[in-house]
């Protein structure tokens, strides 16, 4: 074996800078500038670095410490692209002024769960961080439309915005975001209880590139609001309208007609969603891969439509869908051969016969939840294990008709399978 003694210092500065770009960020930040004066000068004159600011935060607990550290470290390089900054929840607007001054190239900022943050702090961030791409304001309940207006005016590159539980945000603030941030693709409005038609209309009008929208627990969202979204956001691929209990089949029909690229749909606990709505989804969204129908009043007829129209379905949640029987599972097994995740929690009308159909038609199944399926026995367990070689996780909690003997046999025959068993059986 030939051992090469290569002195990097003898190479041209441009070549050394090129080599340093392949060094991991942590080493580049904390070690390379200290090799010698030449390397330090090259870092300052030639090297651009992408910095995950969480690396700088691991050993500093206060904002003042972070700022001091950032000043020293980031000053060692010609330019830095910053991301990954999540500041502590006791941050104040005054602290943000200092942070914004240091991190003017910041692209990702997480301020979630910050009770002290107000519009004044957001104004400082907006003024100093125009390259912001991702902003998380989840549970910042003092933020209002005024703060969003500042972000919208100064951060035109914003792509992802999380406004979870920001109850003081109205259609006025969302209109500013929609107007000022045309690149927005991901918007999280989870638990924003006052989101209604007006707010959704503003989003639909100004965010044509939106691909992901979370409206979970937005209790005042109606079919009229979904109609606006469907009309303006045709690129939507992910929609969460779980616990939007004013949504009906009519709203789903609009979404299905206007959002043909939808791949993920969460309808959990929407009492007025029925088989008729599923029929529209199946007809309009052939690319659907993930569907959550937990606690919806759907039947085998609805599953038949989904199976016929959504052949790429990979994940299906039917937890507590009490009207689903073996007949519905047979249709899913026949029409959805790529199914990898299936949740049948509490489906008490599912028996071994249904599991046999799944085993025969879904060979790629990896995760199966049969919790509280009282009519499943050792026979069904054996069929699933034998027919689904990729099965990795099987939940049999509270399956009273699955015996210890059946469990032991499957565990012995399929040692890679993780079986979850809880409760009195």
Helix, coil or strand: residue 293:
coil
Q: What are phi and psi of 135, to 5 degrees?
A: -135, 125
**How far apart, in whole angstroms, are the C-alpha atoms of residue 198 and residue 208?**
16
For 341-363, write each residue's pLDDT tens digit: 999 999 999 999 999 999 999 99
425 has a pLDDT exceeding 50: no
Higher pLDDT, 217 or 84: 217
For 220-256, write each residue's pLDDT tens digit: 999 999 999 999 999 999 999 999 999 999 999 999 9
Contact by Cβ (8 Å): 417, 394? yes
Average pLDDT over residues 7-20: 80
Q: What is the pLDDT of residue 75?
A: 67
pLDDT confidence tier of residue 59, bands split at 50, 70 and 90: very low
Nearest alpha carbon to residue 236 among 218, 223, 254: 254
Higher pLDDT, 91 or 251: 251
**How far apart, in whole angstroms, are the C-alpha atoms of residue 353 and residue 358?**
9
For 351-394, write each residue's pLDDT tens digit: 999 999 999 999 999 999 999 999 999 999 999 999 999 999 99
For 110-159, write each residue's pLDDT tens digit: 889 988 899 999 999 999 999 999 999 999 999 999 999 999 999 999 99
Backbone CA torsion sign across 30, 36, 39, 44: positive
DSSP secondary structure string, 336-362?
-TT--EEE-TT-TT--HHHHHHHHHH-
Q: If you classify domain 299-425 with CATH, what class do you get?
A: alpha beta
Of the chain, the end-to-end C-alpha distance in Å amounts to: 64
**How far apart, in whole angstroms, are the C-alpha atoms of residue 321 and residue 367?**
18
pLDDT confidence tier of residue 103, bands split at 50, 70 and 90: confident
Q: What is the pLDDT of residue 286?
A: 98
**How far apart, in whole angstroms, are the C-alpha atoms of residue 164 and residue 192?**
6
- Report helix, strand and coil shares of the chain as percent, to nearest 5: 40, 10, 45
82 has a pLDDT exceeding 60: no
**Tokens 């209880």 -> residue:** 193
Q: What is the pLDDT of residue 225?
A: 97
Residue 167 CB neighbour total at 10 angstroms: 16
Q: What is the pLDDT of residue 327?
A: 98
What residues form DSSP beta bridges with 15?
Answer: none
Cα distances (Å, whole numbers) of residue 250 to 188, 219, 247, 293, 295: 23, 17, 8, 17, 19
Contact by Cβ (8 Å): 231, 256? no
Angle between helices 223-232 and 197-206 (to 10 degrees): 0
For 203-229, write each residue's pLDDT tens digit: 999 999 999 999 999 999 999 999 999
pTM beyond 0.75, yes or no:
yes
**How far apart, in whole angstroms, are the C-alpha atoms of residue 52 and residue 201?**
36
**How far apart, in whole angstroms, are the C-alpha atoms of residue 311 and residue 289?**
8
How does DSSP classify residue 408?
A: H
**How far apart, in whole angstroms, are the C-alpha atoms of residue 305 and residue 302?**
5
Helices (H) and strands (E) in the chain, counts: 18, 16
Torsion of CA 236, 241, 247, 251, to 10 degrees: 10
Helix, coil or strand: residue 219:
coil
Backbone CA torsion sign across 373, 377, 379, 381: positive
Where in the chain are the domains?
11-62, 299-425
**How far apart, in whole angstroms, are the C-alpha atoms of residue 249 and residue 278?**
8
Q: What are phi and psi of 274, to 5 degrees?
A: -125, -175
**How far apart, in whole angstroms, are the C-alpha atoms of residue 142 and residue 112?**
12
Residue 353 CB neighbour total at 10 angstroms: 16
Q: pLDDT over 90 for what percent of the chain?
A: 71
**Tokens 């779980």 -> residue:** 242
**Tokens 């500065």 -> residue:** 13
Nearest alpha carbon to residue 229 among 248, 247, 213: 213
Q: What is the pLDDT of residue 60?
A: 45
**How far apart, in whole angstroms, are the C-alpha atoms of residue 149 and residue 180?**
8
| Strands in 89-128 per DSSP E | 108-110
**In whole angstroms, what separates CA 425 from the centre of its chain?**
35
């Amino acid at each position: 074996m030939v051992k090469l003694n290569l002195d990097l210092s003898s190479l041209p500065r441009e070549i050394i800078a090129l080599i340093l770009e392949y060094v991991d960020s942590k080493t580049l930040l904390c070690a390379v500038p200290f090799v010698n004066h030449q390397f330090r000068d090259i870092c300052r004159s030639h090297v651009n670095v992408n910095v995950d600011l969480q690396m700088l935060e691991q050993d500093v607990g206060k904002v003042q410490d972070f700022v001091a550290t950032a000043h020293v470290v980031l000053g060692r390089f010609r330019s830095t692209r910053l991301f990954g900054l999540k500041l502590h929840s006791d941050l104040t607007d005054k602290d943000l002024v200092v942070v914004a001054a240091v991190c003017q190239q910041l692209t990702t900022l997480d301020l979630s769960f910050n009770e002290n943050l107000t519009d004044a702090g957001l104004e400082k961030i907006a003024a100093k961080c125009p390259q912001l791409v991702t902003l998380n304001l989840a549970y910042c309940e003092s933020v209002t439309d005024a703060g969003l207006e500042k972000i919208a005016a100064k951060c035109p590159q914003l792509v992802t915005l999380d406004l979870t539980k920001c109850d003081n945000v109205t259609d006025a603030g969302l209109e500013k975001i929609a107007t000022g941030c045309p690149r927005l693709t991901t918007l999280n409005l989870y638990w924003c209880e006052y989101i209604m038609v007006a707010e959704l209309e503003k989003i639909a009008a100004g965010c044509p590139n939106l691909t992901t929208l979370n409206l979970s627990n937005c209790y005042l969202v109606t079919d009229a609001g979904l109609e606006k979204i469907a009309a303006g956001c045709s690129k939507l691929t992910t929609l969460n309208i779980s616990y939007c209990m004013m949504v009906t089949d009519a709203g789903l029909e609009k979404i299905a007609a206007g959002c043909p690229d939808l791949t993920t749909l969460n309808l959990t606990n929407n009492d007025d969603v029925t088989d008729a709505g599923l029929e529209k989804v199946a007809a309009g969204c052939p690319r659907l891969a993930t569907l959550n129908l937990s606690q919806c009043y759907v039947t085998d007829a609805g599953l038949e439509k989904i199976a016929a129209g959504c052949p790429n379905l990979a994940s299906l949640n039917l937890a507590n869908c009490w009207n689903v029987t073996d007949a519905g599972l047979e249709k899913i097994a026949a029409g959805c051969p790529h199914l990898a995740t299936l949740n049948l929690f509490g489906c008490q009308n599912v028996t071994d016969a249904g599991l046999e159909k799944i085993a025969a038609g879904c060979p790629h199944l990896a995760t199966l939840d049969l919790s509280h399926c009282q009519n499943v026995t050792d026979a069904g367990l054996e069929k699933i294990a034998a027919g689904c070689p990729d099965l990795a996780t099987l939940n049999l909690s509270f399956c009273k008709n699955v015996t210890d003997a059946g469990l032991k046999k499957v565990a012995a025959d399929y040692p890679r399978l993780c079986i979850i068993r809880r409760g009195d059986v």
